[in-house]
């Protein structure tokens, strides 16, 4: 593969990623999720519903610096969607977990994104969808 082809592919993936997040994710959030920002919704998805996460894990999952993740988590705590506690063995760690209200919001976000995703890829047939998925998984595994 030529270097220019690789550059074009990376450029297109970055443009698509930006479009996906700004259009379909934002549209999904605006449609059903009240006063949540895009960053807050992404953080709720990153925290997930399975126990406590460290702030470092959350920051990595949403691809921001830890202090930026802390600011978003602070807002989610104020909205009653997230709880935080110090680590049991290392009290310097800040652990976060979704509250019941946060878990319900996670389910709403997940459901909304699934509905929007159906519309987003409606022009691909099953073979094209499977091919795209396999290609993206292969790229992801090797980066």
Please name the residue that has the structure tokens 């960053």: 39
Token code pair at residue 141? 């595994």
pLDDT at 1: 58
Residue 14 lies in a domain: no
Q: Based on the structure, what is the number of domains in the chain?
A: 1
Q: What is the CATH number of the domain that holds 50?
A: 1.10.10.10
pTM, rounded to two decimals: 0.73
3-state secondary structure of 18: helix
Query: Of residues 47 and 38, which shows the higher confidence score?
Result: 47
Residue 49's pLDDT band, with cuts at 50, 70 and 90, is: confident
Share of the chain above pLDDT 90, in %: 31
* Mean predicted confidence (pLDDT) in 3-29: 78
Q: How far apart are CA 85 and CA 91, in angstroms?
A: 9
Residue 12 lies in a domain: no
Please name the residue that has the structure tokens 């990623």: 17
Nearest by Cα to 82 from 70, 95, 98? 98
Residue 88 lies in a domain: yes
pLDDT at 47: 93
Strands of 53-54's sheet, edge to edge?
53-54, 94-98, 82-86
Q: Which of 16-25, 80-89, 130-139 has the lowest mean pLDDT?
A: 16-25
Domain that holds residue 74: 23-114
């Amino acid at each position: 593969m030529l270097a220019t082809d690789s550059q074009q592919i990376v450029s297109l993936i970055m443009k698509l990623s930006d479009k996906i997040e700004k259009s379909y994710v934002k549209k999904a959030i605006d449609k059903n999720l009240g006063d949540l920002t895009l960053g807050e919704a992404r953080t709720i998805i990153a925290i997930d519903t399975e126990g406590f996460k460290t702030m470092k894990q959350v920051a990595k999952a949403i691809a921001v610096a830890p202090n930026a993740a802390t600011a978003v988590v602070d807002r989610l705590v104020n909205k009653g969607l997230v709880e935080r506690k110090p680590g049991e063995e290392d009290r310097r760690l800040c652990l976060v977990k979704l509250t019941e209200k946060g878990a319900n919001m996670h389910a709403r976000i997940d459901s909304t994104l699934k509905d929007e995703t159906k519309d987003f890829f409606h022009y691909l047939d099953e073979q094209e969808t499977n091919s795209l998925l396999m290609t993206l998984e292969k790229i992801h595994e090797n980066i």
